[in-house]
Amino acid sequence: MVSELKSYIESLLSKGVRADLRKLDEYRKPINVEYGISAKSAEGSAKITMGDTVIVAGVKFGVDKPYPDNPDEGSIVVNVELLPLSSPDFESGPPDVDAIELARVVDRAVRESKAIDFKKLCIKEGEKCWMIFIDIYTINEAGNLFDAANLAALAALQDARYPKYDEKTGVVAYDERTSKPIELLKIPISCTILKIGNNLIVDPDLEEEKAMDARLTVATADDDTICAMQKGGEVPLTTEEVKKIVDIAFKKRPELLKYLKK
């Protein structure tokens, strides 16, 4: 069945078309971003709809001890749950390799782009810092979770406001949110491209993912730099193909960026 599907998709792509009539470099529509969808349970939250793919993300704050190697910095922790309600292929239980990979790709884009100044999360050097927890949940899996999760995480970070913190008692009043936002210095945008046969396509749906030879997710930052890359699939990519994919990622960046708050 997979070989038949792959042959069918390759035959379409060779003609420059896709099963859903999109161009090879076209994202699914609609792309919607909803902010503040869970104001009572998270300090920041957002919902992303990309075609039929739906993902929600929540941001929570915690006070913890800084890591020994960075005593004057806070940090982020990204967690992904592939909920069974979103796909018959997902099972309940501990995060599997797909969930872990997705979390790491989102984490790497935010961390390596220096989107957040971790030093500003320090409360008292060597003793207390803010930890930002980004929890991502799939609501409907219809392909390209990487780009949808990236947008969801960024939107939730934009929506987040610090809870009230009493430095004397060390108590965090989660029911008293301040007006202080997380300062995002950069916005790392992920773009995922598949190689199927001799073709490169943007924003793959589920059927296209089943037929892929290779996948490359490229995260780009505001200063025209690459801040993260993640390869998937069994087929290697040539240097020329990687260059083409990077060019596509930079080209698509403004298109995705416009859906987030300025």
Note the pLDDT of residue 180: 97
Q: How many CB atoms lie within 10 A of CB 12?
A: 16
Mean pLDDT to the nearest integer, 158-184: 94
| Structure tokens given for 135 | 């929890």
pLDDT value of residue 234: 94
The mean pLDDT of 134-161, rounded to a whole number, is 98
Q: What is the arithmetic mean of pLDDT over 18-23?
A: 94
Confidence of residue 34 (pLDDT cuts 50, 70, 90): very high
Residue 65 within a domain: yes
What are the respective helix, strand and coil percentages of the chain, to the nearest 5?
A: 30, 35, 35
Residue 20 inside a domain? The answer is no
Q: What string of DSSP letters covers 9-63?
A: HHHHHTTT--TTS--TT---S-EEEEE-TTTTT-SEEEEEEETTEEEEEEEEEEE
- Distance, in Å, from the CA atom of 89 to the CA atom of 140, rounded to the nearest integer, reads 11
- Are 134 and 78 contacting, i.e. CB atoms less than 8 angstroms apart? yes
Phi and psi at residue 85, in whole multiples of 5°?
-65, -20
Q: Could you tell me if residue 123 is inside a domain?
A: yes
In the predicted model, is pLDDT for residue 158 greater than 80? yes
User: How much is the average pLDDT of 7-34?
Assistant: 95
The CATH number covering residue 159 comes to 3.30.230.70
Per-residue model confidence as pLDDT tens digits over 45-77? 999 999 999 999 999 999 999 999 999 999 999
> pLDDT value at position 165?
94
Would you say residue 71 lies in a domain? yes
Cα–Cα separations (whole angstroms), residue 74 to 22, 61, 70, 77, 153: 43, 11, 8, 10, 18
Please report which confidence band the pLDDT of residue 3 belongs to, taking 50, 70 and 90 as the band edges. Answer: confident
Residue 1 has pLDDT above 70, yes or no: no
Domain assignment present for 22: no
Q: Is 71 helix (H, G, I), strand (E, B) or coil?
A: coil
The total number of structural domains that make up the chain? 1
- Whether 215 maps to a domain, the answer reads yes
Q: Specify if 59 maps to a domain.
A: yes
Q: How confident is the model at residue 2 (pLDDT cuts 50, 70, 90)?
A: low
Most confident of 7-11, 135-139, 175-179: 135-139
Residue numbers of the domain that contains 87: 2-8+27-257
Encode pLDDT of 95-126 as tens digits: 999 999 999 999 999 999 999 999 999 999 99
In a domain, 147, yes or no: yes
